Amino acid sequence: MTGSYRAATCTALTGPDSIVIQEKQARPLQDGEVRIRVHAAGLNFPDLLMTQGKYQVRPDPPFVPGLEASGEVTEVASDVQNVRVGDRVMAGGKGGALAEQWVGPATAVSPLPPALSFSEGACWQTAASTAWHALVERGHLQPGESVLVLGASGGVGMAAVTMAKHIGATVIGTGSNEEKLAAIDRAGANYLLDPADERLAAKVKEWTQGNGVDVIFDPVGGDLALTATRAIAWNGRYLIVGFASGVIPSFPANHVLIKTYSLIGVRAGESPRRDPELAKRQSAALQDLATQGAMRPHISHRFPLGEAAAALAVLERREAIGRVVVEMNTNC
């Protein structure tokens, strides 16, 4: 395939203001690759961090951000058998989604379930895989248990709320204003909390009959992490998902010892790459959840490709409730 396409390009590691829409030349496919006409790209916090040079994956400018997208397959390499031209798919990778077309390995695409629109599909896989991997594979959350979701109004946080409810847990979600709390409530949380509430730990204990929560899902970090540990149950599991606050907490080892809780790291992308059997379990579980329409993303902001910088700025100002999506057309 020849010709050009538009792409939102990061030209310097200075944040969203560095994004420029550029014309790119389509390159030939290599073995194992597919070409996708992108309908929608879902933004994630790491996309913002990449434009600032603060993410663990640190590409040199110029580069095209965007970790996940959805669209239609327009071309496949001659050795690709499991993907066909015309397939409606979701795709994930380490960058490149904020463009009108995306080339990547066929192994990185999966069918777009009929239950999801293109925009929902573009916002589904990263958050859903993180929530599933954290709560099921790492946290072993069981029906009837309780979970505290920090940053519950974010894309990953909302996926965790709906995943925990799908499992059958009691869910407490935190949100910093009334609009965010209302969205968390609609996502299914049983109890709502302002993260700045001085009685956060006390309220959690009241709602759990004095026991504290079995699982804490934390994509935020910072001072809130240490506050949350005061609300964890005996033998509880603290899931370290990320540090959206920008501050990495230091957990006091004596407190971990006294309450016998576990600190558990969550790497939903890297873990399946290292463990083929886990990759199979995760892929099957996510396909089943997607087919059911579980963890359908809440999309608070939609932008055209030409306003990709403004879309990333919404993440930078922490205005997103659920997900931000960039749509290549109006029929997503």
Q: Are residues 120 and 210 in the same domain?
A: no
Band the pLDDT of 270: cuts 50, 70, 90: confident
Is 107 contained in some domain? yes
Is 48 contained in some domain? yes
Average pLDDT on 95-107 reads 94
Looking at mean pLDDT, say which of 55-59, 96-100, 314-318 comes out highest: 96-100
Average pLDDT on 94-118 reads 92
φ, ψ dihedrals at 289, nearest 5°: -65, -40
3-state secondary structure the chain: CCCEEEEEEECCCCCHHHEEEEEEECCCCCCCEEEEEEEEEEECHHHHHHHHCCCCCCCCCCECCCCEEEEEEEEECCCCCCCCCCCEEEEECCCCCCECEEEEEHHHEEECCCCCCHHHHHCCHHHHHHHHHHHHHHCCCCCCCEEEECCCCEHHHHHHHHHHHHHCCEEEEECCCHHHHHHHHHCCCCEEECCCCCCHHHHHHHHCCCCCEEEEEECCCCHHHHHHHCCEEEEEEEEECCCCCCCCCCCCHHHHHHHCCEEEECCCCHHHHHCHHHHHHHHHHHHHHHHHCCCCCCEEEEEEHHHHHHHHHHHHCCCCCEEEEEECCCCC
Q: Are residues 190 and 252 in the same domain?
A: yes
pLDDT in tens, 199-222: 999 999 999 999 999 999 999 999
Contact 157, 151 (CB under 8 A): yes
Number of structural domains in the chain: 2
Q: Are residues 46 and 60 in the same domain?
A: yes
Q: Are residues 226 and 141 in the same domain?
A: yes
Q: Are residues 101 and 24 in the same domain?
A: yes
Is 301 contained in some domain? yes
Q: Are residues 130 and 266 in the same domain?
A: yes
Q: Are residues 70 and 87 in the same domain?
A: yes
pLDDT in tens, 304-319: 999 999 999 999 998 9
Q: Are residues 63 and 159 in the same domain?
A: no
Strand partners of residue 170: 146
Is 228 contained in some domain? yes
pLDDT in tens, 5-54: 999 999 999 999 999 999 999 999 999 999 999 999 999 988 999 999 98
Sign of torsion over alpha carbons 208, 209, 212, 213: negative
Is 292 contained in some domain? no
Residue 202 amino acid letter: A
Q: Are residues 72 and 151 in the same domain?
A: no
Domain that holds residue 186: 126-270
CATH number at residue 266: 3.90.180.10
Is 38 contained in some domain? yes
The answer for 214, left when phi > 0, alpha when psi is -120 to 50, beta otherwise, is alpha
Q: Are residues 32 and 98 in the same domain?
A: yes
- The pLDDT, as a whole number, for residue 45 is 87
Average pLDDT on 267-287 reads 88
Band the pLDDT of 2: cuts 50, 70, 90: low
pLDDT in tens, 127-184: 999 999 999 999 999 999 999 999 999 999 999 999 999 999 999 999 999 999 999 9
Which residue, of 235, 252, 270, is where some domain finishes? 270
Q: Are residues 202 and 157 in the same domain?
A: yes
Is 25 contained in some domain? yes
The rounded radius of gyration (Å) of the Cα atoms in the chain is 20
Token pair 């790497």 is found at: 267
Cα 125 to chain centroid distance, Å, stands at: 7
Q: Are residues 171 and 263 in the same domain?
A: yes
d(Cα 320, Cα 290) in Å, to the nearest integer? Answer: 23
Is 221 contained in some domain? yes
